[in-house]
Structure 1
Amino acid sequence: MTLHLFRLECLRMLRDPRYLALAVVAPIGFYLLFASLFGGKPTQPGQLQGTVEIMVAMAAYGAIWGALSATGPRIAHERSSGWLEQLRAMPVTGRQLLTAKIAAGLAVALPALVLVCVTAVAVKGVRLDAWQWCALIPAMWLGSLPFALMGVALGFAVGPEAAFPLSYALYMAGSALGGLWVPPAQLSAGLRDVAHALPTNRLADLGWQIAGGHAPTVADVAILAAWSVGFAGLAVLAYRPGGRRAGADGTSPVSA
């Protein structure tokens, strides 16, 4: 049943024009714009080429919204529409539902991530070693987990009217403060400290480290893991306060 739910969630998202526009088309468009404006600057030894640095930032940007939009706004809408209530008539447990939602969030983060990289290779001539590509894409894909978990928490915590604007506001604020729009090195010292504590920055830094020929740092992995644990705890609390999560009408959407 979990697999069927997972497939259904993925198909629904891939057919959603808003997902395609914001999670796939927008990051590619921003990459082409920023790489054309800033990607040709000469780099110092040890620094990433601009087209590579921007590629990683925009790949993270797209993957984050893919994971977040597949969970937060959609779950809130399903609670309001009664879809989760209908699942109670099916042999679906709460654990299966949450697993399918999180897995779908990760799955739909992958197209944005891959397509930005493909665009960088095809249009801007970005070249990395084979091992770097094999490490960069899986590492950043798995690194998008905290955003899928954040979306689940938001989806069960707020109503459908607030879910999309709140998700999008957190997404844009996290991207800006995390250094996806402006390289962290160009931020003030105080903002750099904020950026380094955010999962948006640490997701991009996974890619920047690998693209620079290095292993991801312990700090990147630890901070992403800490955010994942925190969002997972919030998701569980939002879904099952007192043992059962109330739906939009006050009933439990799915048996635990």
Structure 2
Amino acid sequence: MDTRIDTGTRVSLRRCYLLDTRCELLRLLREPMYIIPTLLFPALFYAMFGLLMGGRSGGEAARYLLATYGVFGAMGAGLFGFSVTLAIDRERGFFALRRALPAPPSAWLVARMLIAMLFALGIVLELALLATVFGGVSLAPGQWATLWTVTVLGALPFCAIGLLLGSIASANAAPAWVNLLFLPMAFLSGLWLPLSMLPDMFTKLAPLWPAWHLAQVALGVTGQAGTTSPWLHLLVLGLVTVACCVLALRRLARAV
């Protein structure tokens, strides 16, 4: 009897997570202002700067920007996928309703993280297609798999940052706050062009940005990073993820 109850409970919980993920995915698919920029902008920017303007460098720019624009896409999927919708749900009393529903409290959080990772995967596959067909980029199968894994999992720190922003900002202010963080971080982390092309001050300040640490891991996969151990960058990303999640969930618990 105990075994059947446990099995039934596991199936029920799994179904709750799947249904929550399905509902959140349908919700985002009905938001063209999220879908279009998230999926198309990294590919368009890569085509312009990595393929067209960077074609003179013999493929090095295409390889470099393949890694960094993948990080750029993961940033957008994580930040925008959490912050704006979370701020709207918070103001509408969504979390008070969640507490009354017979569903795991963490289902919405897991669902949104999975969806952000799914969008990040779509972005890196787009970039890989462009880089292979038009940029002449060639990586070993293990490098491709590692690069995709790093980029997809790399969306999680930005999910956590978006979670924190969405727990603090109002629904009207959330898009402005995200853009205020998103665009400068991308530029100052060397995602749009190498930091070697900028003044030394930007290079010294780059380690302050989580995107720079993720970019160093991704560039290490393509053989273009510095000598710093990737584990140090992963440690920083892990600390950022945990800290932002803890602060955001405490804030949401008080708000409910």
TM interval, shorter chain, is 0.7 to 0.9
Aligned: 1:23 with 2:38: yes
Cα deviation for residue 37 of structure 1 reads: 4.3
Q: Aligned residue pairs: how many? A: 239
Cα deviation for residue 209 of structure 1 reads: 0.7
Cα deviation for residue 213 of structure 1 reads: 7.9
Aligned: 1:5 with 2:16: no
Structure (1 or 2) with the greater helix fraction: 2
In the aligned structure 1, how far is the partner of 2:224 from the partner of 2:173?
42
In the aligned structure 2, how far is the partner of 1:236 from the partner of 1:82?
15
Cα deviation for residue 221 of structure 1 reads: 1.1
Alignment of 1:123-202 (within 5 A): 123-202=134-213
**Matched position secondary structure for 2:134:** helix
In the aligned structure 1, how far is the partner of 2:224 from the partner of 2:48?
26
TM-score by length of 1: 0.85
Cα deviation for residue 93 of structure 1 reads: 4.0
Cα deviation for residue 63 of structure 1 reads: 1.4
Are 2:120 and 2:152, in contact at CA under 8 Å, matched by a contact in 1?
yes
Q: Identify the residue that residue 232 of structure 1 maps to in structure 2.
A: 245
**Matched position secondary structure for 1:134:** helix
Alignment of 1:1-256 (within 5 A): 1-42=16-57, 49-212=60-223, 217-240=230-253, 245-246=254-255, 252=256
Q: What do the CA deviations read for 1:43-69 (whole angstroms, capped 9, x no partner)?
A: 6xxxx8111111111111111101111
**Matched position secondary structure for 2:138:** coil
Are 2:55 and 2:135, in contact at CA under 8 Å, matched by a contact in 1?
no
In the aligned structure 1, how far is the partner of 2:147 from the partner of 2:108?
29
In the aligned structure 2, how far is the partner of 1:149 from the partner of 1:206?
19
The one-letter code sitting in structure 1 at the alignment partner of 2:26 is: L
The one-letter code sitting in structure 1 at the alignment partner of 2:196 is: A
Q: Identify the residue that residue 249 of structure 1 maps to in structure 2.
A: none
Cα deviation for residue 207 of structure 1 reads: 1.5
Name the Cα RMSD after superposition. Answer: 2.2
The one-letter code sitting in structure 1 at the alignment partner of 2:165 is: L
Cα deviation for residue 3 of structure 1 reads: 2.4
Which piece of structure 1 moves more, 140-149 or 193-202? 193-202
Are 2:78 and 2:116, in contact at CA under 8 Å, matched by a contact in 1?
yes
The one-letter code sitting in structure 2 at the alignment partner of 1:236 is: L
In the aligned structure 1, how far is the partner of 2:201 from the partner of 2:136?
35
Which piece of structure 1 moves more, 97-106 or 133-142? 97-106
Are 2:121 and 2:151, in contact at CA under 8 Å, matched by a contact in 1?
no
In the aligned structure 2, how far is the partner of 1:155 from the partner of 1:30?
27
Cα deviation for residue 17 of structure 1 reads: 1.0
The one-letter code sitting in structure 1 at the alignment partner of 2:149 is: P
In the aligned structure 1, how far is the partner of 2:106 from the partner of 2:35?
28
TM-score by length of 2: 0.85
In the aligned structure 2, how far is the partner of 1:126 from the partner of 1:82?
48
Are 1:144 and 1:203, in contact at CA under 8 Å, matched by a contact in 2?
no
Task: Name structure 1 gaps, 5 residues minimum.
Answer: 247-251
Task: Name structure 2 gaps, 5 residues minimum.
Answer: 1-15
In the aligned structure 1, how far is the partner of 2:51 from the partner of 2:224?
24
Are 2:160 and 2:245, in contact at CA under 8 Å, matched by a contact in 1?
yes
The one-letter code sitting in structure 1 at the alignment partner of 2:83 is: G
Q: What do the CA deviations read for 1:122-142 (whole angstroms, capped 9, x no partner)?
A: 222321111100111001211
